[in-house]
Amino acid sequence: MQSIKFGTDGWRGLIAADFTFERLALVAPVAAKVLADVYGDSTGSNTLIVGYDRRFMAEDFAKKTAEVVTAAGFDVLFSESYAPTPAFSWAAKQQNALGALVLTASHNPGGYLGLKVKGAFGGSVAPEITQQIEAQLGQELPAVAKPGSLQTFNPWLSYCEALRAKVDLPRIQEVIRQGKLTVYADVMHGAAAGGLEQILGVPIQEINSSRDPLFGGGAPEPLPKYLSQLFRVMRTHRRKEGTELSVGLVFDGDSDRIAAVDGEGNFLSSQILIPILLEHLAERRQFTGELVKTISGSDLFPRVAALYQLPVYETPIGYKYIADRMLTTPVLLGGEESGGIGYGNHIPERDALLSALYVLEAIAESGLDLSDLYKRLQERTGYFSAYDRIDLHLSGMDVRARLLEQLQTQPLTEIAGQSVVDCQTTDGYKFRLANDSWLLIRFSGTEPVLRLYCEAATPEEARRTLNWAKDWANSV
C-alpha cells in the first residue's frame, strides 16, 4: 500500500497493474473515513457521492467503490450514468454530502484510471487530506454495526440547472438560432458528451461523441496534437460560411479542463481564454473579486486584472491550491495554465462546461471572435507574448535527482543568452530573464518527467528558450 500516492488531483494508475479492484477496495473506504473525520461534524451527513466518467470499466470500478463504502457503514448516492467530474463536485455540495469519490483519470491516456476525492464544499480536497488517506492505508478500519444504504441519482439535472442560471442563456440561444454563431464542441470521447447541448437547449455541432476507451489512439487532453478533426471541421466551416462567427470548444476526459479554437482555426489555450474571461466577467458582468493564478499563468493575467483594479494571488501549480484560496477569499476567477478554470460564484472547482458558457456569452455580447477579443486586450495592456511548454521524459529518477541537485547547488545565471534577474522557488524554479521573458522548470513528483514552461515576446523566442532548457537538461 505504500506505493499508492495521490498526485495533484487524486490517485491514478494503469488499469490491472497499479489500479486494480483489490487496491481500490482498500483505498475507497479509507478515503470515505477521512472525509467523514474532516467534514462529518460540519455536514451532519453520512452520505458520499460516487460517480464515474467514460473510461474502460469506469462504471465497474465505481460499483466496487460503492460496494466497499456502503460495507464500511456509509450511505452512497450512486450515479445513474457518466458525468463530468464537476457535476459530482456540485452534487457533493448540493446534497450536503461528506464529499465525492469520482472514478476518472481525467486527461490521461486510455490505459489509466483513477480516483479523485472531492470535499463537502464541492472541490478537490487539500493535500493534507490526501496525506491522511495515504497514512491510513493498511490500517484496520473500525467495525460497523450495519452497512450503509445505496441509492442512485441523475447527476446532470441539478448541475445543468445551476450552470444555466450563471449566464444570459436567452442571449446565447438567440445568436445560435439566428445563425450568427456556430458552435463546435470536441468532447474527446469523454464525459462532456451531450452536456453543452443539454444545457443550451439548442443544437450544436459535437464531434468525438462516441464512447471510445482508447480515445482515438491519443489522450483526452485539450492539446493541439489531439485536435486534428476539430481543426479540419472549423477550417472547412470558415471556407464555406465566410464571415459569420464560429468557435470550437474542447473538453478533456472528465470535463474539468477547457481549450478553444477560434474562427480562423487557431488553438487557444487557457493562457488566452483566462484574460478573455476575466475581461468579460469584470467589464460586461461587473463581477468583482480576486484573480487567483498559478505560477505558470501568463503575465497578461495580472495586467488585465489591473485594468479593473482586481487583486491578484499566485499559487503553486494544482487546482487544489486555487480551491483552497476560494474557500477563504472572495474570488472572481481562478485559473491554471493547463485548462482548469473555476469561478467564485459557483463551487471552488474547475469546470469546463461553465467556462464554455462564459466563452459563448462573451462572444454573443461582444460580437467578436475570440482572437479579436484577445488582440484587443493585448493592445489595451501593451503586452504581447507567446507561450509554450515541453514535457521532457527523463531516463530515470536518478537523472531527476542530478538535475535537482544542480539547480540547488549551481543556480543558473544565464539562459538562452539572457541573464537571470530573479528566481522564484514557490513551485519548481521560475527564472525571470532580462528581456522580461520567463522559464519555469518543474519536476513531476511521481515520475521521471521534467516540465518546462516559457513565456516570451514571440513564439520563436519561447521555442528557443525551451530548446535551450531541453539541451541543458540532457547535458547534466
> Which residue ranges form the domains of the chain, and what is each CATH number?
11-155 (3.40.120.10), 166-381 (3.40.120.10), 386-475 (3.30.310.50)
Q: What is the rounded CA–CA span in Å between residue 99 and residue 120?
A: 4
What is the block-wise mean pLDDT of the chain (476 residues), using blocks of 10 residues? 76 94 96 97 97 98 98 98 98 98 95 96 92 92 92 98 98 96 97 98 97 95 96 90 88 97 95 98 97 97 98 93 93 95 96 98 97 97 96 90 93 96 95 97 83 97 97 92
Beta bridge partners of 183: 247
Q: How many CB atoms lie within 10 A of CB 324?
A: 21
CB-CB contact of 414 with 279 (8 Å)? no
Q: How many CB atoms lie within 10 A of CB 475?
A: 7
- Give residue 52's Cα distance to chain centre: 16
Question: What integer pLDDT is reported at residue 445 of this predicted model?
Answer: 66
DSSP conformation letters of 55-109? STTHHHHHHHHHHHHHHTT-EEEEESS---HHHHHHHHHHTT-SEEEEE--TTS-
List CB contacts of 140: < 8 A, sequence separation 6 or more.
none
Q: Which of these, 33, 21, 267, 11, lies nearest to 127 by C-alpha position? A: 11
Counting Cα atoms < 13 Å in the Cβ hemisphere of 119 gives 21
List CB contacts of 57: < 8 A, sequence separation 6 or more.
15, 113
208-214 own/partner pairs: CB under 8 Å, 24+ apart: 211/54, 213/54, 213/55, 213/56, 213/110, 214/110
Question: What integer pLDDT is reported at residue 121 of this predicted model?
Answer: 96
Q: Which of these, 294, 297, 330, lies nearest to 311 by C-alpha position? A: 330
Question: What integer pLDDT is reported at residue 438 of this predicted model?
Answer: 98
List CB contacts of 237: < 8 A, sequence separation 6 or more.
182, 184, 246
Q: Which of these, 204, 451, 448, 197, lies nearest to 316 by C-alpha position? A: 451
Terminal-to-terminal C-alpha distance of the chain: 34
Residue type, 148: G
Tell me the H-state helices in 215-369: 228-241, 270-279, 300-307, 319-326, 352-366
Place of cell 474562427: 263
Question: What integer pLDDT is reported at residue 2 of this predicted model?
Answer: 54
Residue type, 274: I
The rounded radius of gyration (Å) of the Cα atoms in the chain is 22
Question: What integer pLDDT is reported at residue 459 of this predicted model?
Answer: 96
